[in-house]
Structure 1
Amino acid sequence: MSGVGGGSEVPGARDARDVRDVLVVELLGGFGDLLLALPAVHALARSHPGARVGVLTFTPGDALLRHDPHVHRVLATSDHAEGAPRAAVAAALEQLRPDLVVTTTTYDGIADLCRSTAPWAVTDLWAGAPDGQRVDRRFLELLVAAGAVREDLHDLPLTVHLAPGERARGAQVLAAAVGDGPGGPPVVLVPEAGMPVKEWPAERWAGLADRLRRRGRPVVAATASGTSPVPGVPGLAPQDLRGLAAALAAAGDRGGAVVGADTGPVRLATAVGTPAVALVGPTSAGRYGLDPRQGTSLQGLPGCPVRRPRSITEQECWWSAACPLTGGGGPACMADLGVDEVLAALDGLERPRRAGALPADGGAPLGRPGAPG
C-alpha cells in the first residue's frame, strides 16, 4: 500500500445529473489497495445512480469486481512496467470519456492527466490522512468534501459480491480441508504476509493453531501454494482470487474467522462477511486497519520509534525486514503480538456477531490493552 500524494483541488458540488460516466483509477499495486478503494467506488455509484461506473485496476484484483452490481465496466492491466500504467489511464480516458474521474494513483503524472482530460477530477484522496483515521474512510470523506459523494454515504462498509454458485463451491473447498462434520467454528490462518517485514513468527502460528485445536476448533491455512507452513494444519486447496473469497466466506457462514497480517486476503475475508483479526506491525492500524464493524486490528509495538505511518515505504525496515530494534533481526513489532492476544481478539469478534450488533461509528482500531490504538 502506498501513500502517494496528489493534487489538492476540491471542486464545488456538481449536479449529479451531469455525471453519466465515472472512471475510478486504482493502480497502486496489490488487490488489497483495490479493496481500500472499493467503498468509494460503491459510494460513487450510489451517489450518481444514472451513471455508468468504470474501474481501471491491475490484475488479478479486477476479478473481485465481477458480479458487482455497482460496477458497469472493468478495465484491467497486468503491465507494471515504467510508463505502462499511465498509458492504460490515457487509453481508459479516451475510451470512456468520463464526466468524473477519481484516482487513488498520482505517480507518473497520472493525476495531471486526469485533471487535464476529464471535466471533473478528484485526485487528492491521499491528502492529509492523519494517523488514526482509516484510509478507506478518508477516501470517502474527501469525496464528500469534493461534492462527488453524498454525505450519508461517508462510511460504507467494504463489500465484495459473490454469486450463489461461488459460495457453494467455497463451502466444498473448505469442507475438503477441515471436514463438514460437527465441530467448533473454523479458523482460517493466513501465515503468508507477502513481505518479510509483516511476517508473524513461525512459532506463534504453531502455538495459535495448537491452542485453537485444543478448543475444538478446526484450523486450516490459506496459502498461494496450498501447502501449509504451520505444523499439523492442513492447507486450503489453491484457488484463484474469487475462489479464495468464496472459501473465506464459507468459514464465516460456519461461524468462523480469519487471522493474518495486514494483507489483502485478510481484508478480503471481511469483504465477504467473515470477521478477521489483522496482525499489524510495521504499518499503522490507525490508517490501514480493518473496519471495526468487520474485524479487529491488533497493533504490535504501538510506540515503535521508527514507524512512519504516512510514508511506510520509507521506513528503514520496510524493504529489508531488518529491524533496528532487534539489531537487524526479525520485526520487533510482529514479535510483540502474542498468542493470548490473538485468542482474546477472536473471542471478542464472536460476541458482537452473536448479538447481531454493529457500532454506529467506525471508531478506532483495537490496540494493545491499555495502549494507544
Structure 2
Amino acid sequence: MRRILVVELLGGFGDVLLALPAIHALARSHPAAELTVLTFTPGDVLLAHDPLVARVVATSDHTDGVPRTVVEAELDAAERAGRAYDLVVTTTTYDGIGELCAARAPRAVTNLWRSPPVDELIDRRFVRLLVEDGLVDPRFVDEPPTVTLTETEWSAARDRLPNFSPSDHLSGGQRARSSPVVLVPGSGMRVKEWPAERWVALAARAAAGGHPVLTAGAAGSEPVPGTTLLPPGSLRELAANLAVVGEAGGVVVGGDTGPVRLATAVGARAVALFGPTVAGRYGLDPRSGSSLQGLPGCEVRRPLAISEQECWWSARCPLTGDAPACLADLPVDRVAAVVLASRVHPEASP
C-alpha cells in the first residue's frame, strides 16, 4: 500500500481529535505509505508537524455540496498525477461522500459508524473496526490521541505561562504554589454548558487550596470571576498552553468540547462534563481524562442519534424549557472531587 486518504469532514476540530487514533494507527500499520488527511479548518492545523501525516488538505466551506466537491477534486488530482489512492477511509458519508470514496478507490472503508453500541468510545471503535477489517495491526489498537508540538511552540507557551502563580482575590492575593486548573465554561451550545454559578464555585474551591485558576476563552472574553484568562491565541497556541498546563501537573475541566479533548491530546489531564451527549460514546480516553455524565436516565436522550435529540436541534432543554437539566444534575461537590483528585502536585519551586 503506497497512498492512503482519510476523509474527516464532520465539523469541529473535536471530530479531528476523535479520528486521530485511527489516523495514527493506519500510518503505523503502513509505514511505507504516504497518508493524507482531508478535513475542515481549523482542525487541519492540529495535524501540522505530525510525523505520521504526510499531507493535509483543508476546506473551510461547509456549504451543502462543497465538501463532496472537495473530496472529488482531491481524488481527481491524485489520479491525474499518477498517484491514485490505494485506500480511502472516511468518517463522513453525507452527500454521497461514502459512495464516492467506495467507487473511486480499490479499497475503501465507509462504514465506521456501523452498528455502534452505546458503551464503546467512538475513537476506540474506529480503530477496532479497522483492525477487524485487516487494515490496522492489532498492536496499534490502543493508539492514544496525540497532537505533536514543536520545541518552538513549547518554549513560547512556557514564556506565556511562566509560573502559574496569578494573584487574585480568591487566593487572598497570595502567589499560588500548586498546579493549575483551567476552566472551559463555553461550548458554543447552551445545552452543553454547566451553570455559570457553578463555575464560580468550582474556581473558589480550587483557589482556596492555593491553586491558580485560569479560564480558557477567546480574546476579549470575560474569565470566570476570580480567575485569570488563559492567554488567547491560535488553536495551536491553545494546544501549547494546555500542554504546559499538563507539564505543570494541572487539569482542564469543561463540557463536551474540542478544547477539553485537545488537552488530553497534548498531555494534560482533563475532566469533561457530559449532558446531552453520552459519555459512554463521546467520553475521554480514561488513560488521560475523566468523563462525568449528568442525568444518565434522561428520557429525551438518544445515544445513537444525537442529531435527532430534541434538545440538540431545538437548542433548549425540553425538561426545563431553558437550561439543561442534565448538566444541572452535576453538583459542584462531585465535579470538584474529580477535578482535585485528577491533579498532580509538583514540588514547589523556591
Normalised by the shorter chain, which TM-score bucket? Answer: over 0.9
Asked if structure 2 preserves the Cα contact closer than 8 Å seen for 1:177 and 1:236, the reply is no
Q: 1:218 to 1:182 in 2, by over 3 A?
A: closer
Asked if 1:348 corresponds to 2:330, the answer is no
How far apart are the structure 1 equivalents of 2:136 and 2:221? 43
1:357 aligns with none
Asked if 1:85 corresponds to 2:79, the answer is no
**Structure 2 letter corresponding to 1:145:** E
How far apart are the structure 2 equivalents of 1:348 and 1:139? 30
Query: Percent identity among equivalent residues?
Result: 60
Matches within 5 A, 1:320-359: 320-326=314-320, 328-350=321-343
TM-score, normalised relative to structure 1: 0.86
Matches within 5 A, 1:23-172: 23-96=5-78, 97-172=84-159
> How far is 1:224 from its partner?
1.9
**Structure 1 letter corresponding to 2:292:** L
How far apart are the structure 1 equivalents of 2:162 and 2:293? 32
Counterpart of 1:39 in 2: which secondary structure? helix
**Structure 2 letter corresponding to 1:158:** P
> How far is 1:41 from its partner?
0.3
Counterpart of 1:137 in 2: which secondary structure? helix
Of residues 65-74 and 151-160 in structure 1, the stretch that sits farther from structure 2 once superposed is 151-160
- TM-superposition CA deviations, 1:7-36 (whole Å, max 9, x none): xxxxxxxxxxxx100000000000000000
Asked if structure 2 preserves the Cα contact closer than 8 Å seen for 1:190 and 1:223, the reply is yes
2:240 aligns with 246
How far apart are the structure 2 equivalents of 1:277 and 1:21? 37
Asked if 1:263 corresponds to 2:245, the answer is no
Q: 1:192 to 1:249 in 2, by over 3 A?
A: same
How far apart are the structure 2 equivalents of 1:178 and 1:131? 42
Counterpart of 2:313 in 1: which secondary structure? coil
- TM-superposition CA deviations, 1:176-230 (whole Å, max 9, x none): 8754966110011111111111011000000000111101000010112352341
How far apart are the structure 1 equivalents of 2:140 and 2:103? 28
How far apart are the structure 1 equivalents of 2:165 and 2:102? 51
- CA RMSD in angstroms, aligned pairs only: 1.6
2:172 aligns with none
1:5 aligns with none
Q: Which runs of 4+ in 1 moved over 6 A?
A: none
Gaps of 5+ in 2: 79-83, 168-174
Matches within 5 A, 1:1-40: 19-40=1-22
Counterpart of 2:310 in 1: which secondary structure? coil
Q: 1:198 to 1:79 in 2, by over 3 A?
A: same
**Structure 1 letter corresponding to 2:152:** G
- TM-superposition CA deviations, 1:208-266 (whole Å, max 9, x none): 00111101000010112352341121212221110000000111111101000000000
Asked if structure 1 preserves the Cα contact closer than 8 Å seen for 2:164 and 2:212, the reply is no
TM-score, normalised relative to structure 2: 0.92
Counterpart of 1:317 in 2: which secondary structure? helix
**Structure 2 letter corresponding to 1:333:** C
Asked if 1:298 corresponds to 2:285, the answer is no
Q: How many residues align?
A: 334
